[in-house]
Structure 1
Amino acid sequence: MNEQEMDIFKIISSAGDARGSAFEALRLARKGDFEAAAEKMKEAKEQSLTAHEVQTKLITDEINGTPRESGLLMIHAQDHLMTSILARDLIEEMIEMLKENNK
């Protein structure tokens, strides 16, 4: 496995972890444990940041002249990252709604 493939798998893995943490936060919030939900959302943001940093490295390398393959694996990684960020953003809003309803 080459360096680019390792980076792509890091994006997929970190994005998947972020999505999982965000959904766990939502489950906790539905139970009324907003403190634990906030911790899980913090984890989700950190995991998203890890994926985003790797993505930024790949983009920067390409801009600086390092050729990159744009195969199905990279598209898959981008899809994972995008959907995990969207899920996290929506879950943040849903948790806020649960907090408002819980008052």
Structure 2
Amino acid sequence: MNDEQLQVVMGLIMNAGNAKGEAVAALAAAKENNFAEAEERMKAANEALVEAHNTQTSLLTAEASGNNAEITLLMVHSQDHLMNAISYLGLTQELIEMYKRLTALEK
């Protein structure tokens, strides 16, 4: 893996990790009925996820153009981070909605 590919893969890991971290914080805020903060955190999570997804798209585009990246454990790890972040954000959004409904029922 050359330095450029390493930089791309590390960016993918970083952005996917940031997305999941923001979603974790959003869920914690929702548990405390702080839905404004939860929504802000989910917005930041989705922005980081878009960055990670754009990085993945650049890797796919390069490969489709014949510029194949070396498949390393680090590359696989980056894809794992991205897929976990996507799943976690989707589930977190559903849980936030559940907390909102529970809060409304308590009133």
Common fold by TM > 0.5: yes
Matches within 5 A, 1:11-90: 11-90=12-91
Rounded to whole Å, the distance in 1 between the matches of 2:7 and 2:98 is 38
Percent identity of equivalent pairs: 42
Rounded to whole Å, the distance in 1 between the matches of 2:36 and 2:53 is 26
- The offset of 1:93, in angstroms, is 0.2
Q: Deviations over 1:77-99 (max 9, x none)?
A: 00000001100100000000000
- The offset of 1:67, in angstroms, is 1.9
Number of aligned residues: 103
Q: Which amino acid aligns with 1:68?
A: A
Rounded to whole Å, the distance in 2 between the matches of 1:68 and 1:55 is 12
Gaps of 5+ in 2: none
Q: Deviations over 1:5-53 (max 9, x none)?
A: 1000000000000000001000000000101100000000000000000
RMSD over aligned Cα atoms: 0.7
3-state secondary structure, aligned to 2:33: coil
Rounded to whole Å, the distance in 1 between the matches of 2:90 and 2:76 is 21
Rounded to whole Å, the distance in 1 between the matches of 2:56 and 2:6 is 12
Larger gyration radius, structure 1 or structure 2: 2
Q: Which amino acid aligns with 1:49?
A: V
Runs of 4+ residues deviating >3 angstroms: none
3-state secondary structure, aligned to 1:68: coil
Gaps of 5+ in 1: none
